[in-house]
A and B are shown apart, each in its own frame.
Chain A
Amino acid sequence: MHRITINGISTEADQNTTILAAATQMGIHIPTLCHLEGLSPTGACRVCVVEIEGAGHLAAACSTPVRDGMVIRTHSKRVREARTTVVELLLSEHEGDCQTCQRSSDCELRELARELRVLENRYTGEKPMTMIDASTPALYRDSGKCIKCRRCVEVCTGMQHVGALFPQYRGFDTTIGPAFSSSLDLAVCVQCGQCAAVCPVGAIIEQSHIEQVLSALEDPNKQVIVQTAPAIRAALGECFDLPPGTLVTGRMVSALRRLGFDAVFDTNFTADLTIMEEGTELLMRLRDKLLLKLPQVPLPMFTSCSPGWIQFAEYYYPELLANISTCKSPQQMFGAVAKTYYAQKLQIDPKDLVVVSIMPCTAKKYEAAREEMHSSGYRDVDYVLTTRELGDLIHLSGIDFIDLPDDTMDDPLGISTGAADIFANSGGVMEAALRTVYFITTGRSLPARDLHIEPLAGMEGVKTATVLLQDTVDAWKFLEGVQASVAVAHGLGNAAQLMDRITADPDEFLFVEIMSCPGGCIGGGGQPRFTTDAIRTARMAAIFAADEGKTLRESHTNPAVMQLYDEFLGSPLSSKSHHLLHTQYRKKQQS
């Protein structure tokens, strides 16, 4: 323990504590800009400088550990003046078209300038060159707005192990971006959008589909339907200043109806469908290995819902591509089912059907544009809006979200079970799959309290569990006594760690869930800013509440999914299912 004094108040702090953390514990707010919870401090922005008695120069509070006897001043005149200068210099290199900037309402630089009372800028020199990069389907970069805080570099490299972004060139000419300041489409980028989620200014945002969606809604010749991912309902409220973790499913449906969508459906429906396909696929692989003793059955099987993870594997783990479930993600299954089964039901030409997705994710924009995703004969999903974009669209359309009445999703593609809700959380796809796989093989529900597999919940980076298959039914007798060992990773850095473990011991696990973003989809790159672990935890709790609030909580009990099989698909893994609901992956060349 170190005894320190901050602003005249004496306290004790652990020796590994930074000045910033110690001050926060004491209720003293030191402004920060580049600082990111859970990642190594870069000290790049110098906004958090403080005065330490006896030290010649100011120190960055985020990266300076406390020492015994330290006397610190966090808001002295010298500190305030230094911070003001730092912010003025940042502003002097920032292309600040604030009134028309997408981040005008939540720009951290603007808020910081206000907090520090920077009321004029003494430095009005040359601005760096502006380069616009709209080369990818998901992300839009504007180098003129970039303030080189390097948060995006930290998440891309430190958290996601992708490393698409790094400072290029030097001094005034520095840009943050891919090698030699090339466009993002030429770099290894999985488009997870975590960079856009942490950017304090408008330098990295999603490619917007708002205008296209508005045009479709206004076109009298189009039927426009919408699907909403499970993670939206636990986060959309934050766009309207509701506390994180407020479940807004009913109000969201109302808002979508008022926006003019012809039908409001649920990606949850195809999440249940995914479980039927993916669960069956897993059981077939287990049969091939354990009963038929076929050589080289690709196990463990990996989930395939997260398009960032799919690209990550295509770049870095091509040797494991056969292990990834061939199931398309629920978003893409929805598009394929909507433009075939639903179009037939409605007796409309699928060319006049527009499928819009609301996703917590930027990579879903990329996924919808993949060439494999045209199995209906058309582009299966036309437009993808992030949670943030839906918030903007609701604001734009003059809808008072807070006071909307609750409404419910439409039949048949709006019916879902609680197992589909938890797709939003890290560990949720695994739990949903195990609920159904356990039922198929034993004829009983998963013997877990509240159907939850506790070790798979929460923010731990890599989580594991085993489920004992007991008293199996006749068709699955070969699984009797099998300890189904499963693993879950979220965040691609954690995924990489798990992949190394699996490469070293391929037999440790049977089934593995990977989600690209920390916390899973609830922490996606398209969710309302700014996401912290506390917010992730609140959203996760809301998702579990949604699950527990449902009467049907296992995918195989979804009556609408069963009806889809009866009327259209036949059975899981049928040839029609294969054509519409499954896909393949291909190795991609790194850089």
Chain B
Amino acid sequence: MAEIQTDCRTSTHAEPCREIDPGSVIPVVDEIITQYRSTRGALIPVLQSVQNLLGYLPKEILTHISRELSIPYSEVAGVVTFYSFFSTTPRGKHIIRVCLGTACYVRGGKEVLQALTRELKIKVGQTTDDHQFSLEIGRCFGACGLAPVVMIDEDVHQRVKPNAIGLLLAAYRDDDDQDRGGSDEKA
């Protein structure tokens, strides 16, 4: 795969995510499409790879994928809007996903979400002004025994308490190598 100069990666990249010029990344997107073109059900892996690369899915890129894979744009958009994992706007350096699946909801997921919106001063689907955090809702990470669960990037945080949110975010905000307290379990 060709190298790409972009500061938009989902989780581990140093710079926060900004809007990119879609035209400049078409060759790399085409490489991804080529990898999957002959496979059945190519759309979702292509979308995942492109989002991993760019940090989000610009609409110009989605129309390009639609044409290249001969899948109607309405269907591409239907898949992107169905899965909360996909985003069409640039997202922050860290993605916070609050699980509101049944178990987490019952055990206080909603209160955790409220605490996060207060703390970050953004709504679900938005990104903080400093591009540090994006807030999203998840629908079950398969860690119901640890409810309520919050995922920040790849880290799963278990039995999160609303009043401990500040502490949880601080570890990411500073972006040093201190222990972030996430369990090793991956979603």
Interface segment, A166-174, A220-228, A397-405? A166-174
Q: Assess whether B142 is interfacial by the CB under 8 Å rule.
A: no
* Residue of B66, B73, B75, B76 with most partner-chain A CB within 10 A: B73
Chain B proximity mask over A143-178: 1 for CB below 8 Å, otherwise 0: 000000000000001000011111111100000011
Interface segment, B77-85, B155-163, B178-186? B77-85
Say yes or no: B77 contacts A168, CB within 8 Å: yes
Q: Which of A169, A170, A179 contacts B74 (CB 8 A)?
A: A179
Q: Assess whether A105 is interfacial by the CB under 8 Å rule.
A: no
Q: Assess whether A187 is interfacial by the CB under 8 Å rule.
A: yes
Say yes or no: A179 contacts B82, CB within 8 Å: no
Q: Which of B32-85 contact A (CB under 8 A)?
A: 59, 62-63, 66-67, 71-78, 81-82, 84
Say yes or no: B74 contacts A164, CB within 8 Å: yes
A221 to chain B, nearest CB (A): 45
Whole-angstrom CA separation of A31 from B74 in the bound complex: 30
Q: Write the chain A residue with the least CB distance to B62.
A: A179
> Interface residue count for A (Cβ, 8 Å)?
18
Given A169-B82, A170-B84, A177-B74, 14 other A-B residues pairs in contact with their CB atoms under 8 A: A157-B72, A163-B74, A164-B74, A166-B74, A168-B77, A169-B81, A179-B74, A179-B76, A180-B77, A180-B88, A187-B73, A591-B63, A591-B66, A591-B67
Q: Which residues of A contact B73 (CB under 8 A)?
A: 163, 178-179, 187-188, 590-591
Say yes or no: B63 contacts A168, CB within 8 Å: no
Whole-angstrom CA separation of A188 from B75 in the bound complex: 12
Q: Which of B63, B75, B81 contacts A157 (CB 8 A)?
A: B75
Q: Which residues of B contact A167 (CB under 8 A)?
A: 78, 82
Say yes or no: B81 contacts A165, CB within 8 Å: no
Say yes or no: B72 contacts A163, CB within 8 Å: yes
Q: List 6 A-B contacts (CB under 8 A).
A: A163-B73, A163-B74, A168-B81, A179-B62, A590-B67, A591-B67
Q: Write the chain A residue with the least CB distance to B81.
A: A169
Q: Which residues of A contact B62 (CB under 8 A)?
A: 179
Q: Which residues of B contact A179 (CB under 8 A)?
A: 62, 73-74, 76-78
Say yes or no: B78 contacts A168, CB within 8 Å: yes
Whole-angstrom CA separation of A180 from B62 in the bound complex: 11
Q: Write the chain B residue with the least CB distance to A163.
A: B72
Chain A proximity mask over B77-102: 1 for CB below 8 Å, otherwise 0: 11001101000100000000000000
Whole-angstrom CA separation of A156 from B73 in the bound complex: 13
Q: Write the chain A residue with the least CB distance to B76.
A: A179
Q: Which residues of A contact B67 (CB under 8 A)?
A: 590-591
The 6 closest A-B CB pairs, nearest first, are A163-B72, A179-B77, A166-B74, A591-B73, A166-B78, A169-B81
Q: Which of B63, B71, B74 contacts A165 (CB 8 A)?
A: B74
Say yes or no: B74 contacts A187, CB within 8 Å: yes
Whole-angstrom CA separation of A168 from B82 in the bound complex: 7
Whole-angstrom CA separation of A591 from B63 in the bound complex: 6
A275 to chain B, nearest CB (A): 36
Say yes or no: B72 contacts A164, CB within 8 Å: yes
Q: Write the chain A residue with the least CB distance to B71.
A: A163
A216 to chain B, nearest CB (A): 37
Q: Which residues of A contact B74 (CB under 8 A)?
A: 163-166, 168, 177-179, 187
Q: Which residues of B contact A164 (CB under 8 A)?
A: 72, 74
Q: Which of B13-39 contact A (CB under 8 A)?
A: none
A441 to chain B, nearest CB (A): 41
Q: Which residues of A contact B71 (CB under 8 A)?
A: 163
Q: Which of B76, B81, B88 contacts A170 (CB 8 A)?
A: B81
Q: Write the chain B residue with the least CB distance to A169.
A: B81
Say yes or no: B75 contacts A166, CB within 8 Å: yes
Whole-angstrom CA separation of A177 from B84 in the bound complex: 19
Q: Which residues of B contact A162 (CB under 8 A)?
A: 72
Whole-angstrom CA separation of A112 from B59 in the bound complex: 40
A58 to chain B, nearest CB (A): 23
B62 to chain A, nearest CB (A): 8
A66 to chain B, nearest CB (A): 28
Q: Which residues of A contact B76 (CB under 8 A)?
A: 179
Q: Write the chain A residue with the least CB distance to B64.
A: A591
Whole-angstrom CA separation of A179 from B84 in the bound complex: 16
Whole-angstrom CA separation of A163 from B78 in the bound complex: 11
Q: Which residues of A contact B81 (CB under 8 A)?
A: 168-170, 180
Q: Write the chain A residue with the least CB distance to B78.
A: A166
* Residue of A167, A168, A177, A179 with most partner-chain B CB within 10 A: A179
Whole-angstrom CA separation of A80 from B81 in the bound complex: 35
Q: Which of A174-212 contact B (CB under 8 A)?
A: 177-180, 187-188
B147 to chain A, nearest CB (A): 21
Q: Which residues of B contact A157 (CB under 8 A)?
A: 72, 75
Q: Write the chain A residue with the least CB distance to B79.
A: A166
Chain B proximity mask over A351-380: 1 for CB below 8 Å, otherwise 0: 000000000000000000000000000000
Whole-angstrom CA separation of A219 from B52 in the bound complex: 64
B23 to chain A, nearest CB (A): 15
Chain B proximity mask over A559-591: 1 for CB below 8 Å, otherwise 0: 000000000000000000000000000000011
Q: Which residues of A contact B88 (CB under 8 A)?
A: 180
Q: Which of A44-75 contact B (CB under 8 A)?
A: none
A590 to chain B, nearest CB (A): 6
B16 to chain A, nearest CB (A): 25
A149 to chain B, nearest CB (A): 16
Q: Write the chain B residue with the least CB distance to A186.
A: B73
Q: Which residues of B contact A169 (CB under 8 A)?
A: 81-82
Q: Write the chain B residue with the least CB distance to A157.
A: B72
A167 to chain B, nearest CB (A): 5
A197 to chain B, nearest CB (A): 19
Q: Write the chain B residue with the least CB distance to A165.
A: B74
Q: Which of B121-166 contact A (CB under 8 A)?
A: none
